[in-house]
Copies of this chain bind each other. A is one copy, B any other.
Amino acid sequence: MLGGAAAVAAGATLVQCSGTARSAGTAGTGFGAATEPFFGPHQGGVATAPQAHALFVALDLVVPPGRNARETLAAVLKLWTTDAARLTQGRPAIADTEPELAGHPARLTVTVGLGPGVFDRVGLAQQRPPAVAGLPAFATDRLDPRWCGGDLLLQLCADDPMAIAHAARVLLKNVRTMTRQRWRQTGFRNAHGSQPAGQTMRNLMGQVDGTVNLREPHEFDRYVWDDGAQRPWFAGGTVAIIRRIRIELDTWDELDRRSKEFVVGRRLDNGAPLTGADEHDDPDFTAAVNGIPVIPPNSHIALARHRTDDERFLRRPYNYDDPPADGLTTDCGLLFVTYQRDPARQFVPVQQRLAEADALNPWVTTVGSATFAILPGVTSDAEYLGQRLLEGR
């Protein structure tokens, strides 16, 4: 599958609002009051059970006259930390001009990242984690600069699009003299509560998407969270890759169901591998009938599957459906968002395999790509995101 629904901690969502514990149930107040924790060793929005809506904004740093790049970046990160700590807990931002919109965070998370190039810009090239770098070119990529790169990432996720719109407004407005928006991508999954809990999402090709994923805390420690061995300031951070994958639905729709299932290696109705009956059955890539593999070796799941213990990462994708260019019917696809300690070791080998041979390639086109260092979390309001990087502590 293209991506995955991390059901991490779904049963253990911490519910707080304005310091008072509240029920996340829908009876009476609605789930708008539910919150995710802000303070901790990691930022929210990574291991957080995926919210229904997401907004990804990439920004470039614009250094105002009389300031230097590093203090500009610090100013951005301080403003974002202060207001994210409040908005995620259902409290208005400092100087929030629409405070009434802040009261229903609906599990809002704010996740901040730095692009590979910004370390140089702020004179801290030697502090860039080696894992934070551009990806190699893949043969099947058709990258459009309008969906690529960026000095800063602001990732907002919530179960209510109103919470995202308000948080985006506040956080982007605060930094408008110090940044320029480079790109902005909106994604969605099934609405909160529309499906039984724990169900894997479908993408807009109709496929169950994200059966294979990281779920256990020890997997996150092994594959997602940086341990600080190379850059101590980065302990607790991770590396995000955001790929915009357009689905060529016009031609995909010409395929019959059986062919679609062979392309992917899973059944369309329930997502089971072609060798199994249930979605979570392990695919048997050795199974063959009359010498012909049941799951084709170039099917998407055969190639996307990790082949070494290293090739695992967190998939946290969202669907997108945007207005098409003139004369076209549809512009939809997947914001394929992954988090891993080291893309070169975990993500690139898989993507290389897919680019070379994935049977799905004729129907998916990667048109955007960006990499960001997701900053470690902050543990109290005495600290701001990125402080350990910028102040060397």
Chain A interface main SS type: loop
Contact A330 B169 (CB under 8 A): yes
Contact A172 B30 (CB under 8 A): no
A104 within 8 A of B: yes
Q: Which of B104, B181, B329 contacts A324 (CB 8 A)?
A: B181
Chain A 145-180 per-residue mask, 1 if CB under 8 angstroms from chain B, else 0: 000000000000001111011101100110010001
| Interface stretch (choices A73-81, A94-102, A283-291) | A94-102
Query: Which residues of B are found within 8 Å of A252, using beta-carbon distances?
Result: 97
Interface size, A (range): 35 or more
Contact B101 A204 (CB under 8 A): yes
Closest to A199 in B: B30
Query: Which residues of B are found within 8 Å of A204, using beta-carbon distances?
Result: 98, 101, 165-166, 169
| Interface stretch (choices A184-192, A309-317, A344-352) | A184-192
CA distance A287 to B250 in the complex (A): 62
CA distance A202 to B172 in the complex (A): 20
Chain A 28-40 per-residue mask, 1 if CB under 8 angstroms from chain B, else 0: 1111100000000
Contact B159 A194 (CB under 8 A): yes
Contact A172 B330 (CB under 8 A): yes
A136 within 8 A of B: no
A52 within 8 A of B: yes
A371 within 8 A of B: no
Contact B26 A193 (CB under 8 A): yes
CB distance from A391 to the nearest CB of B (A): 28
Query: Which residues of B are found within 8 Å of A206, using beta-carbon distances?
Result: 97-101
A323 within 8 A of B: yes
CB distance from A351 to the nearest CB of B (A): 25
Contact A104 B195 (CB under 8 A): yes
Contact B184 A162 (CB under 8 A): no
16 residue pairs A–B, Cβ–Cβ below 8 Å = A31-B194, A32-B194, A97-B206, A98-B206, A99-B206, A100-B269, A101-B202, A104-B194, A160-B191, A162-B189, A162-B190, A164-B321, A165-B319, A169-B329, A192-B194, A193-B193
A contact set with B: CB distance below 8 Å? 26, 28-32, 52-53, 97-101, 104, 106, 159-162, 164-166, 168-169, 172-173, 176, 180-181, 183-184, 188-196, 202, 204-206, 249-250, 252-253, 268-269, 319, 321, 323-324, 326-327, 329-330, 332
